[in-house]
Amino acid sequence: MKKEAEKSQIVIYQTLEDENKIRVRIEDENVWLTQKLIAELFNVDVRTVNEHLGNIYLEQELDKDSTIRNFRIVQAEASRKVARDIKHYNLDAILAVGYRIRSDRGTQFRKWATERLREYLIKGFTIDDERLKQGGGKARYFEELLQRIRDIRSSERNFYQKVTDIYATSLDYKQDAELTKQFFATVQNKMHYAVHGYTAAELISKRADAKKPLMGLTSFKGNYITAGDTHIAKNYLTEPEIKQLNLIVSLYLDFAELQATNGRLMKMQDWIKKLDEFLTISEKRLLHSAGTTSAEQAENKALQEYEKYRQDQDRNYVSDFDREVKKLLEIEKKRIKP
């Protein structure tokens, strides 16, 4: 299969021992290298790489069709530039060669490639510090970042998910970092607490009440309340509370867009700090604990109230079918009325 090189992402891999810089192509959730670059990666002759790849395919360790792809590359030949289709090999093939030559370098590259692919999938693009320092690369990065922020703004995701989506655009974003886990675990409660003084679990526990109209819920899917609706905190928010949350998130998104427009890079710690600053400036409460109610306790309370409420709901519920039957009966009565 032939691909245009311009549609790929190029990132730089630097080997640990000799600090050799290798241009790695990323496309279709995989990394791709030519035989020449694989040779540079493992510090061996191209003929050695060619021999190992030949044996790998001969022994059917890998499938050629799924691990080889042609990319059109423009390269200088003598005094002119020529576009040629060059074979590239994916991560599976690269690592297979690495295991046969130098497993230590193969391991280093696998870790790097896995991390870059993860970033690429999460953000829709990957950041290469070397290219970022260049004017064109930096401009393109911020253009893509601005588009990503605008997509987040227009998405249907809820308030705290938009905040975590902005956090995920951080220059140094790592999904498995302790900082990320901590932020993701607390951001929903932090936003809730800022507006009404309760964590998400506390809000559910306090507002779920079978005696109230709609069990205290202000929103739910469909025409009637289900058990799943009762343990979602945002379903208990009042209109003024929702408006406040949307305003806070809008400010956060405005700031993100302003930073990208001004070409300022933001890291994970920066976004955490900025959220607290926005809440403080808005004269909102800052959450400093996990709250007094666990998620399990809140869910149990909501389900208990739901079981009480459900009896009345089922008794009073009129389905679309019931309405149609009633209409038909009324029509029939009018028709036979003397």
280-326 tens-digit pLDDT: 988 999 998 888 999 999 999 999 999 998 887 767 655 555 566 56
Rounded distance, CA 184 to CA 121, Å?
19
Cβ-based neighbours of 148, under 8 Å, separated by 6 or more: 123, 124, 169
Q: What pLDDT is attached to residue 4?
A: 47
In this structure, what token pair is assigned to residue 243? 């408006």
In this structure, what token pair is assigned to residue 30? 């995989």
In this structure, what token pair is assigned to residue 27? 């496309």
Evaluate if pTM is beyond 0.75.
no
- In the β-sheet with 68-77, what is the strand arrangement from edge to edge? 2-4, 68-77, 80-90, 30-33, 21-27, 9-14
In the predicted model, is pLDDT for residue 271 greater than 60? yes
In the predicted model, is pLDDT for residue 40 greater than 90? no
In the predicted model, is pLDDT for residue 121 greater than 50? no
φ and ψ of 249, to 5 deg: -65, -40
CB 94 within 8 A of CB 41: yes
Axis-axis angle for helices 200-207, 295-316 (nearest 10): 40
Confidence of residue 253 (pLDDT cuts 50, 70, 90): very high
- Torsion over CA of 127, 128, 131 and 137, rounded to 10 degrees? -10
Rounded distance, CA 236 to CA 215, Å?
9
Mean pLDDT of 173-179: 85
Question: How much of the chain, in percent, has pLDDT values that exceed 70?
Answer: 78
Q: For residue 300, how many other CB atoms are within 10 A of its CB?
A: 13
In the predicted model, is pLDDT for residue 241 greater than 90? yes
In the predicted model, is pLDDT for residue 107 greater than 60? yes
Q: Which residue carries 């149990």 as its tokens? A: 300
In the predicted model, is pLDDT for residue 88 greater than 50? yes
CB 163 within 8 A of CB 249: yes
Tell me the β-bridge partners of 23. Answer: 12
Q: What pLDDT is attached to residue 122?
A: 43
Cite the DSSP H helix spans in the chain.
Answer: 35-42, 46-58, 64-67, 91-101, 103-123, 129-132, 135-154, 159-167, 178-196, 200-207, 227-230, 239-261, 268-281, 295-316, 320-336
What is the average pLDDT value for the chain, to the nearest integer?
81
Confidence of residue 5 (pLDDT cuts 50, 70, 90): very low
The Cα-based distances of 275 to 116, 264, 269, 336 in angstroms read: 27, 17, 10, 69
